[in-house]
Structure 1
């Protein structure tokens, strides 16, 4: 999923603006359709796997995306064609938004049937594949465009990748009751039974008290921290292009710096997927501080190598946030016995990237770093609100 998604949006933007010579604002609208669909579908139907099962949902998602990918292969020849293209990209982004909460919900069942360690291994593998897919997609897109000198060629990579995805889903994807060799009734056991089994394990590990505090953290507080991660990504999308131009470097550095940041982010997500519960809150506050401090220095940076180093640090900090917040969201999903909290998780990831890009694009017309200043203020306020909410949980 991420290997095709990571390169497709960039290829569409470049194809529409550079190769078809549409105005940049038109390309921006078309590309944003995927994020809009992602947000709307996730909020409306993000917990659909609760009713229809993980396998059925994943297979349908991949078939819909595959159908869209075949349409993208038809060259755009008119404005009407472009409008239809944008609508299909909206649907493509929308069904992609249903994929992630469906996959993330499985983490709740891994803990129920396999214990805390199995859940941590699952989350580590999930976070690795999520980041690796983006890295692979960016690399593939860069190589394809470099060799063939055509962004349109990336559409074929997208279609081929989805063909493999459909085959893999049909052959290997199973529902959780099949994975853990149990029946559907036991998957939907009462929440009291689930919580009792979960608490028994935590009592053995001496983590029940701290886990109780983590479970009481307000959902909005967790989503505000996650919004920091995704909106920073959105800011970076526009910021890097303008910054690289300002320091008179070639545009391929935009791709390379993004890859460096994604790589350190991937490493961090793998490492911090195994974080003990008693360390989560402290590490979250550290990660927020790391991202804020690195972006303060990025704002002041005027050379390529310091920019690369600081983006590496920012990527590591953002890589800490993702698995830590997903771990906390899994407690909310456990308590509700639903994938809906994960749909909020993905909605925030999508809306943050949209908001960050839009905000920075607009504020950069005033001066380049105004958008960075705004995101820094938000990061500081996020640190304060999370710290207050964490302290408040100790009073209950």
Structure 2
């Protein structure tokens, strides 16, 4: 084989998601088949197959989350966040954060989600056509998070602006100090961190019945959270809670529009909604990938990976792995078992997963209750984010009220 031929067949970078994900899914399919462990031009190792992704996610001793702070230069925004922390510190943080996400709390959040969602839909009464992302999908998680944190719902525009900036980040070389994930996120989050710091300090002076106060008061074996830890946990909630949930709701609506028979089944039998949410999580996860760093020399699928290497786990690829899921490109709400890993796996399984699932299910119920018919109407392809977040920026709809 000539050098020219080898270069022509070498896989390039992942295509953007701007076409709705079709090109990237084809690229991921090729990578699973031809190069399941791929080292890119920046030295990052990409992992594509289900078993390999799950194995890496299950081994924090070798594939570290904590080292991301050092390698990516993001210590100021990751300290206190369980997702970026290794044992034994991870156990302490997870236990403290988990006190704010009990079943009782999630049931109360569900009631408020119905109230907030109905209020948003009241605002479009009399409109037969509107952008569902602008009017419902994008603001709903921000309003709920604002309530959870105990900050004025009127400040949701600050949250929305912050979330949009993060969702729009374009990262070239993730190892670059200035233009990689750490440097870019630190710059984007400066204003919102200052806001959350003020909120935290006000709770120390006057505790309230809200998440910031609960985090400030949480204790595990006599140990609590300090200011930076509470602020960064709230920051993560804003990012992951809003980012993943509005993507999940938007992708649920796209899947139902593409599969009207499934939508009709859900309208007739609302008990099927949770299964539909799980299949959306597998079929079109809003978060496509996550990063680890090797703490020692290791290997994945026979490929050597040196210590201190960045490793990218492709959840969106693992969820479509033909070795794990029969007919992986088919949207099947009856898929059993549905072992997707869109919320991660192992000790770093997303602590907010029940909240995100609940918001998506409530959204489906609200829209079915309010509209006898809801159709996406667009003159051209829907706009999507370019990378990282797999979700539509706008969903223009035509509705007929129930």
So what's the TM-score if we normalise by structure 2? 0.27
Q: Give the structure with the higher percent helix.
A: 1
Query: Which structure's residues are more often strand, by fraction?
Result: 2
User: What TM-score comes out, normalization by structure 1 length?
Assistant: 0.27
